Amino acid sequence: MPDRDLSKELKARLAAELTSGAPLNAPLPSLARYAMAAPAARPQGHLRGRMVTLAVAALVVLLAAAFAGPPQQRAWLVRTVGNLAGDLGAEVSTSSPSPGHSAPAASSPRGGTDDRSPSPSTPDADETPGAQESPEPRESAEPSQTPEAQVSPEAGESPQPSASPDAGGSSGDDGDHSSPTPSPSPDGGGSDDGH
């Protein structure tokens, strides 16, 4: 098949027809459709990228606070998550963080006395006849008597055993000595009940 060529006149006519039919405006890239559409698409991509970056950063901070931070922050996070789960009705998730949090607190001397104050007081309450009066002095003694908490039972118990065997004047003497002191108010109550 021979490769034929058009004459120069036909080529010129062909080019003139195509050029006049579709006049060529200056092909400015700034006026092209892709250039118009590009700025609208770019900021969306940037915004999306920034939002994703922020979300990932927040997640990393939360995970770092949960697993690598000090135990107080960890406890706070666990408590917060537990509260949230409790609000949603998951009671199992709320019960798991509370002993974990109370166990180290119980090992500390002050927190242990504050939290567990009713449990060691139960023998005192058993010894003392007035079980209803036992919480009242402890509430009043909580801020100041934490160091004296170990002393006050000794001071309170010493008149009571002495009062029970000695039903005579010794108890009255003890009751007279104990009554003016404000701290052994349960003893005073006990002595009143004894009397």
Partner 1 sequence: MAYKPGDHDDFDRLYRACYPRLLRILYAITGDAASAEDCVQEAFVHAFAAWPRFKPDRPPEAWIHQIAVNTAISHRRRARLRSIGEVMRRLGRPGAGRDPAEAASQSDVVKALTSLPPKVAADFVLRYVHGYNNREIAQLEGVSERTIGARLSQAREELARRLGPEWRGELPTSDTHSVVLPREPRGLGDA
Q: Which residues bind partner 1 (CB under 8 A)?
A: 1-7, 10-11, 13-15, 17-19, 21-24, 27, 29, 32-35, 37-38
Of 25 and 119, CB closest to partner 1: 25
User: Least distance to partner 1 from the beta carbon of 74, Å?
Assistant: 44
Of 2 and 89, CB closest to partner 1: 2
Q: Which residues, including other chains, have CB under 8 Å from residue 170's CB and lie 6 or more apart?
A: 162, 163
Of 2 and 165, CB closest to partner 1: 2
Q: Tell me how many degrees the CA angle 81-105-140 measures, rounded to the nearest 5.
A: 115
Residue 165 · residue 157 · CB < 8 Å? no
Of 34 and 67, CB closest to partner 1: 34
> Tokens for 41?
């698409």
The residue to which tokens 């006990």 are assigned: 190
Q: How far is Cα 176 from Cα 147, in angstroms, rounded to an integer?
A: 25
User: Least distance to partner 1 from the beta carbon of 30, Å?
Assistant: 8
- Coil, helix or strand at residue 12: helix
User: Least distance to partner 1 from the beta carbon of 2, Å?
Assistant: 6
The residue to which tokens 């092909």 are assigned: 27
